[in-house]
Amino acid sequence: MLGTGLIKGMVETARNFVGSYHDEARLTTVQYPEEKVPPKENGRNFPFLVFDGDDAQAGLRCVACQICEKECPPQCIYIVKSKDKKPDYAGKPQLYPVTFDIDVSVCMSCQICVEVCPFEAIKMDQVFELSTTDRFDKLLLKKTDLAKPNTYFHQLHPTDAAEIDARLADEKRKAEEKAKAAAAAKAAADPAKAAAPAAPVANVPPVGGDATKPSPPAS
């Protein structure tokens, strides 16, 4: 019947209105900004950069591959690569971003940057209170504004973060086993070198946000 949906909607509104006086579950609004509804796990707003350990610069997962910059539909990511390298989570020397800016006044929260990143380095934040009268400086987020610890990622998206931590730890373990096997094979081929002291292992930020793990050194 014409108008049935409209009547059903009005009945539901009336039930919520009357019910809200005696049943909290019917109270569908809160007194914002004093009260806030907790965001859903899959809620998203603008991207941020994940780092492991306690040092945002040494632990940044981003290797400045610029895939996200190329794929971002409105082209609101700007990256400048480093000239030198630092070890990534698996100890492999990688470039890092000297500059990493996102213009959030242009970002459309599509999450494509997250989906194309091969290094689990960029994820979606849930902060939405970014209103400002300064369109240019305050909405152009720099690397220092964007870098947030893995523990923060766990708070926002625990399921995703736990799965990624397990996968990265597994990749790191495999890389270490491969390096050990290569060193053993080399030593077997040249016993004279095997007697020489081992080269120092790269100091790598721990994967995951466990504050009990050792802190990485400042870069």
Contact residues for ligand SF4, defined by CB under 6 A: 47, 62-68, 72-74, 76-77, 79, 102, 107-113, 117, 119, 121-122
Q: How far is the CB of 50 from ligand SF4 (least distance, A)?
A: 9
Q: How far is the CB of 118 from ligand SF4 (least distance, A)?
A: 7
Decide if 49 contacts 60 (C-beta within 8 A).
yes
Closer by beta carbon to ligand SF4, 9 or else 74: 74
Q: What value, to the nearest 5°, has the Cα angle with vertex 86 and ends 125 and 203? A: 95
Closer by beta carbon to ligand SF4, 111 or else 132: 111
Q: How far is the CB of 63 from ligand SF4 (least distance, A)?
A: 5
- What is the DSSP-derived secondary structure letter of residue 25? G
**Which string of DSSP letters, residue by residue, matches 88-145?**
-TTS-EE--EEEEEEETTT-----HHHHH-TTS-EEE--------S-TTTTTEE-HHH
d(CA 153, CA 149): 7
Q: How far is the CB of 77 from ligand SF4 (least distance, A)?
A: 5
Closer by beta carbon to ligand SF4, 54 or else 120: 120
Closer by beta carbon to ligand SF4, 102 or else 161: 102
Q: What value, to the nearest 5°, has the Cα angle with vertex 67 and ends 103 and 69? A: 20
Q: How far is the CB of 139 from ligand SF4 (least distance, A)?
A: 12
Tokens of 107: 């970002």
Closer by beta carbon to ligand SF4, 50 or else 54: 50
- Please, what's the b/e burial string for 118-127 (b: 16 or more CB within 10 A of its CB; e: otherwise)? ebbbbbbbbe
Closer by beta carbon to ligand SF4, 95 or else 187: 95
d(CA 44, CA 156): 9
Q: How far is the CB of 84 from ligand SF4 (least distance, A)?
A: 16
